[in-house]
Amino acid sequence: MHILDIYIISDSLGETGALVAKAAISQFTTQDYSIKRFPYIHTLDELKAILEKASIKQNTIVIYTLVKSILADYTKEYTDEMGILAIDIMNPIIDALQEKIGTPPVREAGIIRKLDDDYFSRVEAIEFAVKYDDGKDPEGLENAELVLIGVSRTSKTPLSMYLGNRNIKVANVPLVIEIPPPKALFEIPSTKIIGLTNNAENLNRIRGERLKALGLGRGSSYATFERILDELEYAEKIMKKIGCPIIDVSNKAIEETAELILTLASKNSIDFNIQ
């Protein structure tokens, strides 16, 4: 028989209460205890049933993380009346923060888990952008929420990462004269495709700097005006064939282009879970 029963009562998972209880009990040598977690308690009837069980026990501690005032207040009243040792972990801290911040709390159960879900969703979107960057795997086009296409050095990768950080799954495909675009590009809805372009002067400068950084000479056709003009003409034909909107990224910051992309997507009735 356990000499100590620790009841963890929460209107969310009860992880906080359980972690605090385990951290505290670890300071004692006794192993004769049990921790019983009661998560997702949202009604007084559920709460009353648990507290009645606790009152029957000989040696019980109630630890509660109830953010809803009606539940927290009832727990305090009941445990005081029945002589049950009870510890409210959340509300003293919430009350202190309210006094300092000057605004009332939302009193929403499980909100920290919601924030965690948002974080992991954002990480997933960024990983998606990495996996389907630069046309690595055309199969990702079907699952992408947005697809960016354009010639080299039109900010496809940084835009994919930026939008991924906004919780949007983006794939990008380079348009190269010698390589036919993937068939999937013509099979997905054109409304989720955005074409990116740049003026020839900018591309000439950017590509020249890129070659210099790689230790290559500017003589490569990659940075010549003739090659760049041919690529831009080729890319424009594909974009017109697809029927997608085209954004000129010349002299635009990544953030500015991203907002234009989101505006176009909104006009096409694409609803993102933007964070």
Domains of the chain and CATH, by start: 4-109 (3.40.50), 118-267 (3.40.50)
Q: Is the pLDDT of residue 274 over 70?
A: no
User: Binding site annotation covers 269?
Assistant: no
CA–CA gap between residue 226 and residue 126 (Å, rounded): 35
pLDDT number for residue 118? 76
In the DSSP assignment, the letter for residue 176 is B
CA–CA gap between residue 168 and residue 205 (Å, rounded): 31
User: Binding site annotation covers 156?
Assistant: yes
Digit-coded pLDDT (tens) for 28-59: 987 789 999 999 999 999 999 999 999 998 89
User: Binding site annotation covers 257?
Assistant: no
User: Binding site annotation covers 22?
Assistant: no
Digit-coded pLDDT (tens) for 176-228: 999 999 999 999 999 999 999 999 999 999 998 888 888 776 567 898 999 99
pLDDT number for residue 215? 78
User: Binding site annotation covers 150?
Assistant: yes
User: Binding site annotation covers 157?
Assistant: yes
Digit-coded pLDDT (tens) for 170-180: 999 999 999 99
CA–CA gap between residue 242 and residue 263 (Å, rounded): 19
- State whether the Cα torsion 233-237-242-246 is positive or negative: positive
| Whole-number average pLDDT of the chain | 91
User: Binding site annotation covers 154?
Assistant: yes
Burial 172-209 (b: 16+ CB within 10 A, else e): bbbbeeeeebbebbeebebbbbbbbbbeeebbbebbbe
